[in-house]
């Protein structure tokens, strides 16, 4: 029997162990997509206890606790923090096969140096020990980021943001980590949502552009993109959920805009032609700025109406969608490619059945010399960022494209203790590569393997985003 989560956790071959311990383990981290709060980083917040740190923003843990029958009062409600931690400890002790079990214990090990498994029996001592550490300066938000050798953090920011906290962070010479905004214009694209009209009015005010038609929306977003670029932004991010595509007809685009500004919901075809127009137009802007655009598709959000009405979005009631993506995604990208305005692009689908669709789609647009992996199959996302999901994504990319150009892992998290998931990813990567070498499918060419591993862990992202 192997020891529980020892130094060779997930590594079963000598080659995998060498690849991880000699190459992957030491590499810095670029977290090019996350949902950390810039305000909390700027203010270098101190967490009052381990419950706030572990459970305060982690919807993966909330979903698991609900599955275990825990009352919402002890998940996101007004329950006592110690009770919440005990409830989580009781649940996680039975989470066999769930990546949360590994993530939780990596968090305990790497953040606090706590080795014993978390359960009802150990929870009281872990609560006391962790909270004592959290009361010190070394466990404030910024120190937690630095602890994991993070070089760049890209937060997720609305175009209307004034980026004040990014400015504060950038002016502080004592904090060496780059905290950069990422441009997330979902509210300007989701024209069918009730809040669209109010958001456009806000965007108009912030940008100084009088918005009277769809072309003006693009002008306003372009102005904000340039503002973001001045603050170090290197990527946009789009939560598309469903992929839009309709041939661009400006009369229809502006018909959709006019209806939405009157408080009426356009039909699906008008919504799609508007969304297509905005995405294609902004792709041109991203290309000019040298950014990468990120498309996240096939998420079905806020499925529990009661929970959404009571508590809002992003609290763990989302799931995988099974919308078809192949035709529209290729047409959308081709619309940008035809005019030479397809920027670097990372594609993520929440539905793993899309893996081969994504893997073959990116190959259609790898047409710009000098940019290895211009089109990227993004890291296994959300429900797929566990061992099987990561293995499937990386093996698909290797089989259909160039794994060696992959820009690697991201946290996509609101939690300051999610960085051990990079370790989890790196161990899985090294296990895949090590198995191929041990099976005689790839030579023990250590120079090449070092380049591949260090590239996927850090170097590729650094070059791709020009950090």
Cα–Cα dist 311/457, whole Å: 37
Two structure tokens written together for 170: 């950038």
- Spatial CB neighbours of 173, under 8 Å, sequence gap ≥ 6: none
Cα–Cα dist 467/451, whole Å: 19
What stretch of H or E contains 370?
none
Judge if pTM exceeds 0.85. yes
End-to-end C-alpha distance for the chain, whole angstroms: 44
Instruction: Check residue 78 and give its pLDDT.
Output: 95
**Per-position pLDDT tens, the chain of length 467:** 899 999 999 999 999 999 999 999 999 999 999 999 999 999 999 999 999 999 998 999 999 999 999 999 999 999 999 999 999 999 999 999 999 999 999 999 999 999 999 999 999 999 999 999 999 999 999 999 999 999 999 999 999 999 999 999 999 999 999 999 999 999 999 999 999 999 999 999 999 999 999 999 999 999 999 999 999 999 999 999 999 999 999 999 999 999 999 999 999 999 999 999 999 999 999 999 999 999 999 999 999 999 989 988 889 999 999 999 999 999 999 999 999 999 999 999 999 999 999 999 999 999 999 999 999 999 999 999 999 999 999 999 999 999 999 999 999 999 999 999 999 999 999 999 999 999 999 999 999 999 999 999 999 999 999 99
What stretch of H or E contains 446?
helix 446-454
User: 221 vs 165, 205, 271, CA distance in Å?
Assistant: 20, 12, 18
Instruction: Check residue 65 and give its pLDDT.
Output: 97
Please name which of 299, 308, 249, 275 lies closest in space to residue 192, comparing C-alpha atoms: 275
Find the Cα–Cα–Cα–Cα dihedral 416, 107, 410, 185, rounded to 10°: -30
DSSP 137: G
Can you name the residues that pair with 49 across neighbouring β-strands? none
297 three-state secondary structure: strand
Pairing outcome for strands 150-154 and 29-31: parallel
Cα–Cα dist 153/147, whole Å: 14
The gap from C-alpha 232 to its chain's centroid, in whole angstroms, comes to 18
Q: Are 274 and 326 in contact (CB under 8 A)?
A: no
Q: Are 104 and 118 in contact (CB under 8 A)?
A: yes
414 three-state secondary structure: coil
Q: Are 413 and 422 in contact (CB under 8 A)?
A: no
Please name which of 118, 169, 117 lies closest in space to residue 146, comparing C-alpha atoms: 169
Q: What does the DSSP assignment read for 68-85? A: TT--GGGTTSS--HHHHH
Per the listing, tokens 């030479």 go with 340
Cα–Cα dist 374/286, whole Å: 13
Phi/psi zone of residue 466: left (φ > 0), alpha (ψ -120 to 50 degrees), beta? left
Cα–Cα dist 105/108, whole Å: 5
Phi/psi zone of residue 263: left (φ > 0), alpha (ψ -120 to 50 degrees), beta? left
- Spatial CB neighbours of 421, under 8 Å, sequence gap ≥ 6: 103, 106, 385, 409, 411, 413
Cα–Cα dist 446/456, whole Å: 15
What stretch of H or E contains 377?
strand 375-377
Rg (C-alpha) for the chain, rounded Å, is 23
């Amino acid at each position: 029997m192997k020891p529980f989560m020892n130094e060779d956790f997930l590594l079963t071959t000598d080659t995998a162990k060498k690849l991880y311990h000699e190459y992957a383990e030491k590499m810095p981290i670029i977290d090019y997509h996350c949902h950390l709060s810039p305000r909390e980083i700027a203010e270098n917040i101190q967490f009052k206890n381990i419950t706030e740190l572990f459970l305060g923003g982690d919807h993966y843990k909330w979903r698991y606790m609900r599955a275990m029958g825990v009352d919402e009062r002890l998940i996101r409600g007004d329950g006592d923090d110690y009770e919440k931690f005990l409830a989580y400890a009781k649940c996680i002790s039975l989470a066999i096969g769930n990546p949360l079990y590994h993530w939780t214990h990596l968090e305990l090990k790497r953040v606090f140096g706590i080795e014993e498994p978390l359960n009802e029996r150990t929870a009281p001592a872990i609560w006391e020990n962790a909270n004592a550490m959290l009361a010190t300066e070394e466990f404030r938000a910024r120190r937690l980021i630095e602890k994991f050798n993070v070089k760049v953090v890209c937060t997720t920011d609305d175009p209307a943001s004034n980026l004040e906290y990014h400015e504060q962070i950038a002016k502080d010479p004592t904090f060496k980590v780059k905290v950069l905004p990422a441009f997330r214009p979902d509210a300007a694209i989701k024209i069918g949502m009730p809040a669209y009209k109010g958001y456009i009015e806000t965007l108009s005010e912030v940008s100084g552009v009088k918005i009277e038609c769809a072309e003006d929306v693009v002008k306003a977003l372009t102005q904000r993109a340039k503002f973001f670029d001045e603050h170090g932004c290197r990527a946009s991010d789009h939560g598309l959920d469903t992929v839009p595509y309709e041939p661009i007809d400006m009369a229809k685009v502006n018909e959709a805009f006019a209806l939405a500004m009157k408080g009426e919901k356009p039909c699906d075809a008008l919504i799609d032609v508007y969304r297509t127009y905005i995405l294609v137009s902004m792709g041109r802007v991203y290309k000019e700025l040298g950014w990468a655009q990120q498309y996240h598709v096939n998420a079905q959000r806020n499925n529990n109406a009661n929970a959404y009405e009571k508590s809002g979005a992003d609290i763990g009631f989302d799931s995988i969608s099974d919308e078809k993506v192949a035709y529209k995604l290729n047409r959308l990208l081709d619309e940008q490619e035809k005019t030479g305005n397809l920027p670097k692009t990372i594609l993520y689908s929440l539905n793993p059945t899309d893996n081969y669709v994504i893997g073959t789609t990116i190959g259609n647009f790898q047409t710009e010399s000098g940019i290895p992996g211009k089109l990227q199959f993004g890291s296994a996302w959300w429900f797929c960022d566990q061992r099987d999901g990561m293995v499937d994504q990386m093996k698909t990319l290797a089989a259909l494209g160039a794994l060696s150009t992959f820009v690697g892992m991201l946290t996509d998290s609101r939690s300051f203790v999610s960085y051990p998931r990079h370790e989890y990813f790196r161990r899985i990567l090294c296990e895949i590569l090590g198995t191929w070498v041990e099976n005689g499918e790839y030579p023990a060419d250590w120079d090449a393997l070092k380049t591949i591993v260090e590239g996927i862990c850090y170097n590729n992202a650094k070059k791709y985003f020009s950090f």
